[in-house]
Structures are given as structure tokens and as C-alpha cells.
Amino acid sequence: MSLRITRTSSPQPLPPADQLGFGQYFTDHLFFADFANGSWTSGEIIPYQNFQLDPAASVLHYGQALFEGMKAFKHPNHEMYLFRPKFNAERMQKGAERLSMQAPPTDLFIEGIRELLKVDARWMPEGVGKSIYIRPTLIGTEGFLGVRPSNHFRFFVILSPVGQYYSNSSKAVKIFIEEEDLRAAPGGLGNTKAAANYAASLRAALKAKHHGYAQVLWLDTSRRFVEEVGTMNIFFRVGDEVWTPRLNGSILEGGTRACVIQLLKSYGVIVHERDVALADLQQAYENRQLKEAFGTGTAAVITPIEEISSQKIAWKFTEPSENSISQKLFKDISSIQHGLSPDRFSWLMKV
Ligand code: COI
């Protein structure tokens, strides 16, 4: 791939590795490629900088914007590995189809990310739990005002060295059930990583935060079934089996969700991808069968949940221990990602 690289003349100091948090620091460069007249440019790496955008660009008026979340990890042999990049390239392509956008082909998506990681390799933080978070983004850039799809797109990638997503130092999070706002509805954008889904989630997330909760649990349009957490897919351990909402079209098809299902099946755990009714969970809670709840996501990895509440519901979970499924999954997935145990499902790609 003939990719132009312009290196920065003023590299930034690296942030303190123990204070990375999530998405606060950006590396020295970014990758971008443009689509116009039916084809993609071969892409360019430039110093991290503002873009110039037509004020009539379709992303600003009609919300043609999609993103992905991915991570790269440093292994003990000092090589960098990407986690399931093809999955993200293909999910962006599916989302682009739904939003009438042109997605970058898989080769451009992956090679742009790999080259950018090589240029900014010095930003890779050391240690388990730390990684470079990758944010590939696609926006409509053509300027016009009639409502129609853009004919011009920009695909760009920025990198952020990260630690854990939830700033709360105790590892489990509290979740509030949102019963008024809706994140998504069947036939809508809920199963895509459209920026609009996140805009729709912000009001409820703020309200939950105000009451001491890390995130909200979204319900379906009937307000009877659990969907997802917005930054994570959700799993419940009921007895010795695991339930997670099935992909019904309004839930994000999470990459970590798929890995967790694969891992659980490899442990011999029965996983039910099903409609998960609040009433069924309440009954399981009353029968002391609702043993664990946890979220999964690229940013959140596996995050145990300590409490799920609403006006009517108050489920409390015991602290995760050695016997918790969430802990086992976290250890397993992190050690594969960091190259500390064999990549038995072929999830990794060398940068
Ligand atoms: C991710 O986990 O990568 C996400 O996109 C969730 C959130 C940070 C927006």
C-alpha cells in the first residue's frame, strides 16, 4: 500500500502510565483516507491536527457518522498485536450500509491502522490492563443541504493510550435501569456504531451519574426486556448457566460479547442468547439464582456489576471472587490479548 507519511516535528511527551484513564491522551499522528468520485485515496499519516470541514458537511447536519473501538497490545516479546481487526472493519461496513455511507475496504482499514501503530509505537503503554485504544471513524464530508446521502467520506483513525475505562477504582460498577429514554428501536440504528446512538444515550447517562451510577441499562420499546448498557453488552449468570440478550437488531453486535460466548462455551458453560425479561431476572434474584452480572466491551473488557437498580428493582451482587465467571473471563481474555497465554481462537494479528 502506498501510504504517505508526514512525521511531526514536535513529538509530545508521553503521559504518566499510571494515570492514563480512558481517551484522555492522543498520540502524535493520525491516519486518514478520503472517498470521492467512486474511489478511496490510498491514505495518509499526518501529525495529529484539526480537520477543515465544509460547514454544510452531511456529518454536521444529517449525522452521517460511524465509529469503531479496537485495541492493540504489547506482548512480552515487545511486538504489537491487534485484536480481531477484521471483525471491526466488517462491522463498520455493515453500519455504513445502514447509514448509506461508503465504508473503507478491509485492507485499507487494517493497513491504515497498522501503519499508524508503527509510527506511534512509542506510545504503547507497558503492563496488563494497558493498551492503545484505536478509534476508526467514518464521516460524510460533502457539503449540501438537501436530505440525501453524502458522496464524499473521510475515514480517519486516532489512537489513545489507555488504562481502565471506568474511573471508579473499585472494579465493579453500579447500573441504573432507564425506563423513560430509549437508546434504540427495531429497524433503527441500534445495531450499528452510529454516533447518533451515543447522542441518544447521554441524557440518561448524566441522570444516572448524578445518582451515583456508572451507566444505564437500556430496555426494549416495551420496557420489559433488557438490551445493553450502551458502552457494554450485558451478561447474567443464572444458576450455572449464562443469559445474554439475543441480537435482535437494536443491540450492538459486540466483539467482546462474541469472544465471551466463545470462551464460555469452551468452558462447557451453557449460554442462552435469548429475550431477557426483567421479570425473569427478578424471579431468579428472589430464588437466589441470579449470581452475577457483568458487562463486556472493547473499552470496558469484562466489568463486573455490583448493583442494578430502578424505582422498583434493587439487585445487589457479591464482590467478584476467584470463582466468579467474570473474573475467569477477564483473566482469560486479558492474558490472550497481552500474549501471556496461547491465542487459541486466532484472535490476534501482528502489527
Ligand atoms: C468501545 O468499547 O470501544 C466503545 O465504543 C464503547 C464506548 C467507549 C463508546
Condensed to tens digits (0 to 9), the pLDDT of residues 307-317 reads 999 999 999 99
Question: Can you list the domains of the chain with their CATH numbers?
Answer: 4-163 (3.30.470.10), 173-337 (3.20.10.10)
Evaluate if residue 170 carries a pLDDT over 90: no
Q: Looking at this protein, which amino acid is placed at residue 93?
A: Q
Tell me which residue has its CA closest to atom 3 in ligand 1: 69
Work out the average pLDDT over 333-340: 95
Nearest atom in ligand 1 to 299's CA: 2
- pLDDT tens sequence across 38-56: 999 999 999 999 999 999 9
Tell me which residue has its CA closest to atom 9 in ligand 1: 231
Ligand 1 pocket residue status of 244, Cβ below 6 Å: no
Ligand 1 pocket residue status of 231, Cβ below 6 Å: yes
Please give the distance, rounded to the nearest whole angstrom, from the Cα atom of residue 298 to the centre of ligand 1: 6
Instruction: Give percent of the chain with pLDDT exceeding 70.
Output: 99
Nearest atom in ligand 1 to 231's CA: 6
Ligand 1 pocket residue status of 69, Cβ below 6 Å: yes
Work out the average pLDDT over 327-339: 95
Ligand 1 pocket residue status of 298, Cβ below 6 Å: yes
Evaluate if residue 168 carries a pLDDT over 80: no
Evaluate if residue 254 carries a pLDDT over 80: yes
Confidence of residue 169 (pLDDT cuts 50, 70, 90): very low
In the chain, DSSP assigns E strands to: 4-5, 29-36, 39-40, 44-47, 65-67, 70-74, 80-83, 131-140, 153-162, 173-177, 215-217, 233-238, 241-245, 271-274, 290-297, 301-309, 314-316, 348-350
Confidence of residue 140 (pLDDT cuts 50, 70, 90): very high
Output the pLDDT for position 149.
97
Confidence of residue 167 (pLDDT cuts 50, 70, 90): low
Ligand 1 pocket residue status of 58, Cβ below 6 Å: no
The rounded distance, in Å, linking the Cα atoms of 347 and 336 is 8
Half-sphere exposure (Cβ direction) of 348: Cα atoms closer than 13 Å: 21
Stretch among 234-248, 269-283, 312-326 having the lowest mean pLDDT: 312-326
Ligand 1 pocket residue status of 297, Cβ below 6 Å: yes
- The model's pTM is 0.94
Output the pLDDT for position 127.
86
Evaluate if residue 60 carries a pLDDT over 60: yes
Output the pLDDT for position 159.
98
Nearest atom in ligand 1 to 254's CA: 2
Work out the average pLDDT over 91-116: 98
Nearest atom in ligand 1 to 70's CA: 3
C-alpha cell read off for 204: 440518561
Ligand 1 pocket residue status of 119, Cβ below 6 Å: no
Please give the distance, rounded to the nearest whole angstrom, from the Cα atom of residue 279 to the centre of ligand 1: 29
Ligand 1 pocket residue status of 116, Cβ below 6 Å: no
Tell me which residue has its CA closest to atom 6 in ligand 1: 231
- pLDDT tens sequence across 190-238: 999 999 999 999 999 999 999 999 999 999 999 999 999 989 999 999 9
Tell me which residue has its CA closest to atom 5 in ligand 1: 69
Across the chain, mean pLDDT equals 95
Please spell the DSSP secondary structure of 169-223, one letter per residue: SSS-EEEEE--SS-S--TTSSTTS-BHHHHHHHHHHHHHHHHTT-SEEE-B-TTS
Work out the average pLDDT over 10-38: 95
